[in-house]
């Protein structure tokens, strides 16, 4: 009854407000042994103009010393937060995100990482750009070690995050604008002729991406064959497009800051697995459900 009443109230809202609140949004945040920066990410989610209905912390088996810190974050946050923890047996971001999806209740799933800080309108932009047959993706500005030190919980909560934005003339931001324009050009070409080669040019990046739950389940989620770092997110984007779920870009509008850390090496088996021909197949066997046939 309570859920039905909430849905009725959301549907009664006018125009833009209805679009923002008509769908239940779950924000899924990956983390592993970085509870200090996770606190910053959660603080930025709390400051969203359209807050998530829930946050699912996708924990890739952080060491026991980090669990109390995560529990403290959950206890002091006004958001509903679920801690979805899996056993750590190496870098398994696909399995980690699938595990979080199983714990999530939203019909729109927003994915980001625990070392990312979001500007207040990020979730709003994703919802307004989304559709039942569309995924939405952006990227972010990778900060230097010196810039990262300036990102504090106090800055986020006091609404002064704008002071840390390098400006759209910064080369990193110019590159985001260029990539956003290129994405839209490639998307138009893909509508004219939907070849696998053209669809591979439209990248879903896990730093900030949103996917309708029904669409994610249709392609059987993230492919857990990807282990180590890299390519599990763009693989999901390709399979979604092969299933008829088109990509939209917020590269040059939705702003996030990526806190500095040494980049991990790309796992070559991941690159090889992504590059294999798909022949129109979009369902992965090793995903949300095992041994799933198309």
Q: What is the pLDDT of residues 6-46, one digit of tens each?
A: 454 455 555 666 777 778 999 999 999 998 999 999 999 99
Give the pLDDT confidence score for residue 23 in this predicted structure: 82
102-147 pLDDT tens trace: 999 999 999 999 999 999 999 999 999 998 899 999 999 999 999 9
- Name the phi and psi angles at 210, rounded to 5: -130, 140
Q: Could you tell me the domains of the chain?
A: 18-275 (3.90.550.10)
SS (H, E, C) the chain: CHHHHHHHHHHCCCHHHHHHHCCCEEEEEEECCCHHHHHHHHHHHHCCCCCCCEEEEEECCCCHHHHHHHHHHHHHCCCCEEEEECCCCCCCHHHHHHHHHHHCCCCEEEEEECCEEECCCHHHHHHHHCECCEEEECCCEECCHHHHHCCCHHHHHCCCHHHHCCCCCCHHHHHHHHHHHHHHHHHHHHHHCCCHHHHCCCCCCCCEEEEEHHHHHHCCCCCCCCCCECCHHHHHHHHHHHCCCEEEECCCCCCEEECCCCCCCECHHHHHHHHCCCCCCCCCCECCCECCCC
Q: State the pTM of this model.
A: 0.92
Give the pLDDT confidence score for residue 78 in this predicted structure: 97
- Name the phi and psi angles at 80, rounded to 5: -75, 120
181-200 pLDDT tens trace: 999 999 999 988 889 999 99
């Amino acid at each position: 009854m309570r859920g039905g009443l909430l849905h009725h109230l959301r549907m009664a809202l006018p125009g833009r407000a209805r679009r923002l609140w008509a769908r239940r949004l779950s924000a899924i945040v990956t983390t592993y042994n970085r509870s200090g920066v996770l606190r910053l990410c959660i603080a930025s989610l709390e400051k969203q103009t359209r807050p998530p209905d829930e946050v699912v912390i996708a924990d890739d088996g952080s060491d026991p010393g980090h669990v109390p810190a995560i529990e403290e974050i959950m206890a002091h946050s006004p958001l509903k937060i679920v801690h979805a923890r899996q056993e750590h047996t190496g870098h398994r971001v696909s399995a980690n995100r699938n595990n979080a999806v199983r714990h999530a209740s939203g019909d729109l799933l927003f994915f980001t990482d625990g070392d990312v800080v979001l500007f207040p309108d990020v979730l709003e932009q994703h919802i307004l750009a989304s559709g039942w047959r569309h995924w939405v993706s952006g990227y972010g500005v990778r900060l230097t070690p010196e810039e990262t030190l300036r990102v504090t919980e106090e800055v986020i909560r006091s609404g002064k995050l704008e002071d840390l934005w390098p400006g759209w003339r910064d080369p990193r931001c110019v590159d985001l604008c260029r990539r956003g324009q290129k994405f839209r050009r490639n998307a138009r070409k893909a509508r004219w002729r939907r070849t696998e080669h053209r669809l591979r040019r439209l990248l879903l990046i896990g730093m900030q991406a949103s996917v309708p739950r029904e669409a994610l389940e249709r392609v059987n989620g993230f492919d857990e064959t990807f282990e180590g770092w890299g390519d599990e997110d763009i693989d999901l984007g390709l399979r979604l497009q092969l299933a008829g779920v088109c990509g939209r870009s917020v590269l040059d509008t939705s702003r996030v800051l990526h806190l500095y850390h040494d980049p991990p090496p790309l796992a070559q088996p991941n690159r090889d697995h992504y590059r294999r021909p798909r022949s129109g197949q979009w369902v992965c066997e090793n995903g949300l459900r095992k041994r799933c046939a198309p």
